[in-house]
A and B are shown apart, each in its own frame.
Chain A
Amino acid sequence: MTKTKKKYRRNMFSWILLTPSLLFMGIFLILPFLLLLILSFHDVDKYMNTLSTFSLSQYIEVFTSPFYLGTIRSTLWVALLTTVICIVLAYPAAYLLVRSPNQGTRTMFYILLVSPLLTSVVIRTFAWIVILAQNGLVNEVLMKLHLINQPLTLLWNMNAVIIAYVQVMLPFAVLPIATSLGEIAPNLRQASMILGAGRLRTFVKVTLPLTIPGMISGAVIVFSLAAGSYITPLLVGGRLQPFLPLSIYQQVMQVSNLPLGAAMSLTLLLFVGIVVGVLGWILKRWEGRMNG
């Protein structure tokens, strides 16, 4: 058999292996996306029936209404804040996870970290209601300690959303950071120290830069999840929060304005795509610098 023929066969084989997942992606991701795209350019009448005419009216609505612009802004802001807090909190956790001298301790940390992912996000978020409610844990304790006279309103605002988000998404930031920490050759830290750098300097100049890929991967996951979830904001923030996924949910399920919902979805996708694209570009530049 000639070389090209062999290569052709190998290629064919790969394609056959790929077919099921490609089909799945095609039917359940690409196709719905295209339908959503088409839908977003349709007009609606005043009873919210989708008309067969096409226009940019839905996008004009999204990008001119001060309410929707504010919603976009606060959605991105909340996602950004969640991402930053997650990365900052995840770093020490990842450090502990990787650098614990004892294998048993490491395994325990892993289980602690991953086990919340085994319960549904709804249950995890409900826990925050129990903690933050008017008669919840935090208020009860503060009242008993006579630090406050009136229960504080801790729920139904964006702070509650961010708190719940951080808790829910922390593992997604810890794992990639831990991975890239684990990949640093131990003698790079030794090299830094023998050259005279103390622990802090070694961390800032060697460890931290080498975990940038892990931090970016974590940020991409957390940011996308934070900008795109609606269960958590709905449960702890309430349905009135200016939050794009909530607005989409309302347009589709309550107002039944499907084209507007579609346009908002694609707008959200666009912004998340831009952020992820920029982060990905930084990652690629950084890795190119290090590995060619």
Chain B
Amino acid sequence: MSNITIQQVSREFGANTALKQVNLEVREGEFFSLLGPSGCGKTTLLNIIAGFLEPTTGEVLIGGREVTDLPPYRRDIGMVFQNYALFPHLSVFENVAYGLKVRKMPRADIRKRVEESLASVRLESFAARMPHQLSGGQQQRVAIARALAIKPKVLLLDEPLSNLDAKLRKEMQSELRSLQQSVGITTVLVTHDQEEALSLSDRIGILGNGELQQLGSPLDVYRRPANRFVAEFIGQVNLIEAKAVSASGSPAGVLTYQTAQYRLASGQPLSLSAASDPALTGKESVLFMLRPERIQLSPEHASEGTNQTEIQITDVSYAGNFLRIAGTLPGGGELVIQAPDPSFTVLPEPGQTLYARWAPEDLVPLV
């Protein structure tokens, strides 16, 4: 088990820069996800860790040892590929034994290790099959067993679950997580599925345009995104540009703002109250993030004040466990709202008027 340190790694393809000065450390035994939109450089970074690509500049350390110039076959890494990459001419047993044979392990030990590995992914009875005789999920489990059989220092996974259907994917996710925890291996998962990254990882690194945008726990990146890019990439958001106003009589710890983006029936800008935050001190104009699920809907106006408004529903989509509702303010501006299924006995309809409100803490400033 080892940590991975990536120092000042850049990679160019001709004129195109895939990675810019990436610095990050994956801690020992951690489940780390690299998350980002398509083309942001996730695979490039993973291939640099694995040794399939050389960084243009910078270095990679595994377990404190510099490996930048080592070929992949000297790095002692386990890797699982997107399309499994099982050797089609070898049986399941031979696939899992491949890395052990390379290491010249005695035959009896190989047999034992392969059996253990297959048992860990619950495929003991499939040893004699050929890869084409397995389902996608089974192939993926063999790929994981093959990668772990060599007891590598770190495990790299490049979108390992993206070819599986939703249900199997969920199953494999929890299986992967519990396997990782029982082995305790440092793991880097590349994915563009934010839900997968959030639910599996100890920490997440968000890549955008070849740069590391944020590094943090799932809670951090979801609740306190570092910037607009992260906020928009992880989940849906309402982004609100607002200006500070000096208001008298607001409670302690609350700052008042106005946003021209949203207007009331009178044409007045909507007033906002945000919880005071170090990021807000001395700032005139701020970009706030308001998550759709933080907005409460009710049929009646509660009282006068900030952080609430009348909205006219324009669109409702029912997703089973929640509803996604879009609405506009009387004077203009659209809000996206997500409400849990049980909050409505009868679904709201477009054209209907409802009242939205949220707490000061729900307005998260982005820097």
Residue B50 lies at the interface, judged by CB distance under 8 Å to chain A: yes
Assembled-state Cα–Cα distance A197/B97 (Å)? 12
4 nearest A-B pairs in the assembled complex, by CB-CB distance: A195-B99, A196-B102, A191-B85, A193-B72
- How many Å lie between the Cα of A209 and that of B86 in the bound state? 14
Task: Using A289-B130, A292-B132 as known contacts, say yes or no to A190 and B73 having CB atoms under 8 A apart.
Answer: no
Question: Complex formed: what's the CA distance from A192 to B98 in Å?
Answer: 8
Is A291 an interface residue, CB under 8 A from the partner?
Answer: yes
Contact B130 A187 (CB under 8 A): no
Is the pair A190, B72 in contact by a Cβ cutoff of 8 Å? yes
Size band of the interface chain B makes with A: 20 to 34
Q: Does B210 contact A (CB under 8 A)?
A: no
- The digit string for B252-288, where 1 denotes a CB below 8 A from any CB of A, is 0000000000000000000000000000000000000
Interface flag for A133 (CB, 8 Å):
no
| One of A195, A201, A286 near B150 (C-beta < 8 A) | A195
Q: Smallest CB-CB separation from B158: which chain A residue? A: A187
In angstroms, how far is the closest chain A Cβ from the Cβ of B88?
Answer: 5
Pair A188/B85 contact, Cβ less than 8 Å: yes
Kindly state whether residue B222 has any CB partner on chain A within 8 Å: no
Check A291–B88 contact: CB distance below 8 A.
yes
Q: Which residues of A contact B (CB under 8 A)?
A: 185, 187-188, 190-198, 201, 205-206, 209-210, 286, 289-292
B73 and A292 form a contact (CB under 8 A): no
Binds A, one of B18-26, B76-84, B183-191: B76-84
Q: What are 26 inter-chain pairs, A to B, with CB distance below 8 A?
A: A187-B82, A187-B83, A187-B85, A188-B85, A190-B50, A190-B52, A190-B72, A191-B85, A191-B146, A193-B52, A193-B72, A194-B51, A194-B72, A194-B75, A195-B150, A196-B76, A196-B99, A196-B103, A196-B150, A197-B73, A197-B99, A197-B102, A198-B73, A205-B98, A290-B130, A290-B132
Q: Which of A190, A194, A209, A291 is close to B132, meaning CB atoms less than 8 Å apart?
A: A291
In the bound complex, CA of A192 to CA of B51 (Å): 13
Residue on B nearest A197 in the bound complex, by CB: B102
Question: Which residues of chain A come closer than 8 Å to B150, judged between CB atoms?
Answer: 195-196
Q: Does B89 contact A (CB under 8 A)?
A: yes
- What 1/0 flags go to B37-80 for Cβ under 8 Å of A? 00000000000001110000000000000000001110111110
Most buried by A among B50, B77, B98: B98
- Asked whether B130 lies within 8 Å of A292 as measured between CB atoms, the reply is yes
- Complex formed: what's the CA distance from A205 to B98 in Å? 9
Chain B residues proximal to chain A, CB less than 8 Å: 50-52, 71-73, 75-79, 81-83, 85-89, 98-99, 102-103, 130, 132-133, 146, 150
Which residue of chain B has the shortest Cβ distance to A210 in the bound complex? B89
Contact B81 A191 (CB under 8 A): yes
Beta-carbon nearest neighbor of B47 in chain A: A190
B52, B87, B150: most-surrounded residue (chain A CB, <10 A): B87
Q: Is the CB of A191 within 8 A of B87?
A: yes
Cross-chain contact B85 with A190 (CB below 8 angstroms): yes
Q: A196-B76, A197-B73, A292-B130 are in contact. List 20 more A-B contacts (CB 8 A).
A: A187-B82, A188-B87, A190-B50, A191-B81, A191-B86, A192-B87, A193-B51, A193-B72, A194-B50, A194-B75, A194-B78, A196-B99, A196-B150, A197-B98, A198-B71, A210-B88, A289-B89, A290-B88, A290-B89, A290-B132
Minimum C-beta distance from A189 to chain B (A): 9
Interface centre among A195, A196, A291, A292 (most CB of B within 10 A): A195
Give the residue name and chain of the B residue nearest to A195 (CB): B99
Taking a contact as CB atoms under 8 Å apart, the answer to whether B73 and A206 are in contact is no
- Which residues does chain B contribute within 8 Å of A291, judged by CB atoms? 88, 132
Known contacts: A196-B150, A197-B73, A197-B102. The answer to whether A209 contacts B83 by CB under 8 A is no
B54 CB → nearest A CB, Å = 14
Partner of A194, one of B73, B130, B133: B73
Question: With A and B bound together, what is the CA distance between A206 and B77 in angstroms?
Answer: 19
CB distance B98 to A195 under 8 Å? yes
Inter-subunit contact B83/A194 (CB<8 Å): no
Q: Is the CB of B87 within 8 A of A206?
A: yes
Closest residue on chain A to residue B52 by CB atoms: A190
B133 touches A292 (CB 8 A): yes
Contacts of A210 in B (CB 8 A): 88-89
Once bound together, how far apart are the Cα atoms of A195 and B103, in whole Å?
Answer: 9
Which residues on the B side are within 8 Å of A192 (C-beta)?
87, 98
Measured in the bound complex, the distance between the Cα atoms of B75 and A286 in whole Å is 33
- Distance in Å from the Cβ of A228 to the closest Cβ of chain B? 32
Taking the closest CB of chain B, its distance from the CB of A285, in whole angstroms, is 12
Tell me if B132 and A185 are in contact (CB < 8 A). no
For residue A209, which residues in chain B have a CB less than 8 angstroms away from its CB? Answer: 89
Give the complex CA separation of A39 and B280 in angstroms.
102
- Return chain B residues, CB-CB under 8 Å to A194: 50-51, 72-73, 75, 77-79
Chain A, residue nearest B86 (CB): A191
Q: In the assembled complex, which residues on chain B have CB atoms less than 8 Å from the CB atom of A197? A: 73, 98-99, 102
Q: What A residues does B132 contact at CB under 8 A?
A: 290-292
Chain B residues, CB < 8 A from A289: 89, 130
